[in-house]
Chains A and B, each alone.
Chain A
Amino acid sequence: MMNRLAGFVTGFHEVTRDNKVLVFFLLGTLLLCCFRELRRHFLSRRTMPLALYAGAASVLVILPPTAWALSLYFTAYDSYAMFWSIVPVNLLIAFTGCTAFFAYEEKLRSLSLPIRAALLLLLTAAVLLCGDCGQGLWRRDAAPKEPDPVKELRARYPEGTYLLAPDDIQAAVRIYAPEFQTLYGRDLWDPSLQGYTYDKYSEEIALCRDALTDFRYYARLSDAEKVLQTAADTGVRTVLLPGNEESRPEELSKAADRYGFTYEDLRTEGGHYFLFERP
Chain B
Amino acid sequence: MESAISFLLPLFLAAAALLFGKGAVTISNLAGESLQRDRHTPLGGAAAFALGAQILLLPGEAAWLLTMRSGADLGTGVRRFALFFIALGTLCYFSWIGISLWKKWTSEEKPEEEKKPPREPLSPLWIAVPLLLSGVILCLLITGHRVSLRGDLTAETVASAMHTGSLYSVNPMTGMPYTEGVPTRLRILCLPFLYAVLGRVFHISAPVLVWRIFPVFWFLAGLCAWISLSGVCFRDRKKRLLFLSLILLLLFASDAAFPYDGFLVLSAGWTGPAIRAWLLIPSLTDLLLRRKYLLAFLPVLCEGILVWTLFGAKSCALLYAGICLASFLYGRFLKKRGKEGA
- B interface vs A, CB < 8 Å? 136, 140, 143-153, 155-156, 159-160, 162-164, 171-176, 178-183, 186, 205-207, 211-212, 229, 232-234, 236, 238-239, 242-243, 246-247, 249-262, 266-267, 273, 276-277, 281-282, 285, 288-289, 308-311, 314-315, 318-319, 322-323, 325-327, 329-330, 334
Query: Chain A residues near B207 (CB, 8 Å)?
Result: 144, 146, 175-176
Query: Chain A residues near B238 (CB, 8 Å)?
Result: 102
Pick from A24, A88, A94 the residue with the most CB of B within 10 Å.
A94
Tell me if B173 and A178 are in contact (CB < 8 A): no
Bound-state Cα–Cα, A175 to B172, Å: 9
Bound-state Cα–Cα, A196 to B308, Å: 10
How many inter-chain residue pairs (CB < 8 Å) link A and B? 242
Whether A91 touches B247, Cβ cut-off 8 Å, given contacts A57-B318, A73-B314, A196-B182, is yes
Tell me if B309 and A77 are in contact (CB < 8 A): yes
- A interface vs B, CB < 8 Å? 18-21, 24, 45-50, 52-53, 56-57, 73-75, 77-79, 81-82, 85-86, 88-91, 93-95, 97-98, 101-102, 124, 127-128, 130-132, 134, 136-142, 144, 146, 171, 174-176, 178-187, 190, 192-193, 195-200
Could you say which of B178, B186, B262 contacts A131, with CB atoms under 8 Å apart?
B262
Query: Chain B residues near A82 (CB, 8 Å)?
Result: 259
Whether A187 touches B173, Cβ cut-off 8 Å, given contacts A85-B259, A98-B243, is yes
Bound-state Cα–Cα, A59 to B146, Å: 34
Could you say which of B152, B156, B326 contacts A174, with CB atoms under 8 Å apart?
B156
Q: Do most interface residues of chain A lie in helix, strand or loop, or is the interface mixed?
A: helix
Could you say which of A47, A139, A199 contacts B179, with CB atoms under 8 Å apart?
A199
Tell me if A88 and B180 are in contact (CB < 8 A): no
Could you say which of A74, A141, A144 contacts B309, with CB atoms under 8 Å apart?
A74
Bound-state Cα–Cα, A90 to B87, Å: 37
Bound-state Cα–Cα, A19 to B257, Å: 8
**Taking the nearest CB of chain B, how far is it from the CB of A45, in angstroms?**
8
Tell me if B329 and A198 are in contact (CB < 8 A): no
Pick from B146, B232, B277, B330 the residue with the most CB of A within 10 Å.
B146
Whether A178 touches B147, Cβ cut-off 8 Å, given contacts A91-B285, A193-B173, is no
Whether A49 touches B323, Cβ cut-off 8 Å, given contacts A85-B276, A93-B246, A186-B153, is yes
Query: Chain A residues near B257 (CB, 8 Å)?
Result: 18-19
